[in-house]
Amino acid sequence: MIQIVFENTHFIICDKPAGVLSTPSRFEEDDARLCLGTALQKEKGFQIFPVNRLDFEVSGLVVYAKTAEAHRKANAWFEHKTVKKTYRALTTGQSYAHIPANVPNEKLKLTPEVGNTFEWRCRLLRGKRRAYESPQGKECLTVAVFRGMQGDYQVWDLNPVTGRSHQLRFDLSRHGFPIVGDKLYGSTVELADNRIALRSYRIDFANANGASALGLPEFLEISSL
C-alpha cells in the first residue's frame, strides 16, 4: 500500500492507491478502510502531517510533511495556489442523461478536439455525500484540457485552480462527462476495487516560495492512467 516516490528530511510524497484513505475518517474507530497516512506513520515511527488529500476512490500523489514547520509552509503554498496539481481522467462521451430534470443545467453541446482547453467556473457546496452547485457555495475554477481518446474513453488533463472537495468529479459530470466508474456523479461504468478513473499524476512546486530550499524538485510526475 505504501509507495513512496519522494522523501527527504522535510517531506514524504506517496502514490496513493485507489480504495485507500489519505487520512483517517471522522469515524476512525468504526472505519475499517485502509488509511495511507496511518500506515505511513506506523512504519516511520513518528508523527506525520497531511498536506493534501485525495478522495478514497482516487489514486495518485499525496504530500505529507515530517515536521510542523514544513507542514505550515506547505499549507501556505496550497492555500495561495502556488502549487499546481494535474490530474488525468477518463470519461465517457458527453451525455446529460444522469442530470435530474429538476437540476438546472444549460446542457451545452461540446465536441472537444485534441488540445481544446476549457475553464469551468461555479459555486460549489459540499453535502453529506456529494457536491452540488449553490449560490452559497465557494468559488470553484477548473482548467480542463482534452487529450484525445484511449480506447472507448475520452482522456482529460485537469488542473483544479481551487481545491474544493469533489471539484473535478462534479465539473466533469455537470458538463456531461462523468468520470469512468464514478457512479456517484452519473457514470454507468463500474470499476472494481473502489476506484474511479481519476489520478493525480503531477505536482509542480516551481512557483512555491521556499520549496527548493526544503529540497523539493520543480515537479514530480508519475504514471498517469
Grid cell 430534470 — which residue? 101
How confident is the model over 5-32, as a mean pLDDT? 90
How confident is the model over 15-38, as a mean pLDDT? 87
- List, in order of start, the domains of the chain with CATH numbers: 4-83+205-221 (3.30.2350.10), 86-199 (3.30.2350.10)
Q: For residues 61 and 31, which has the higher predicted lDDT (pLDDT)?
A: 61
Banded pLDDT at 26 (limits 50, 70, 90): confident
pLDDT above 70 covers a percentage of the chain that reads 98
Q: What pLDDT score does 192 carry?
A: 86
Give the span between the Cα atoms of 82 and 76, in whole angstroms: 9
Alpha helices in the chain, H assignment, sequence order: 36-44, 68-79, 167-174
Q: Is the pLDDT of residue 175 over 90?
A: yes
Mean pLDDT of the chain: 95
All residues at 6 or more sequence positions from 2 whose CB lies less than 8 Å from its CB, including other chains: 14, 36, 39, 40, 43
Q: What pLDDT score does 29 carry?
A: 66
Task: Work out the burial of residue 137: count CB atoms within 10 Å of its CB; fewer than 13 is exposed, 13-18 middle, 19 or more buried.
Answer: middle
66-91 confidence digits (pLDDT tens):
999 999 999 999 999 999 999 999 99
Q: Is the pLDDT of residue 10 over 90?
A: yes
Banded pLDDT at 62 (limits 50, 70, 90): very high
Give the span between the Cα atoms of 66 and 60, in whole angstroms: 19
Give the span between the Cα atoms of 53 and 165, in whole angstroms: 10
As a whole number of Å, the CA-based R_g of the chain is 18
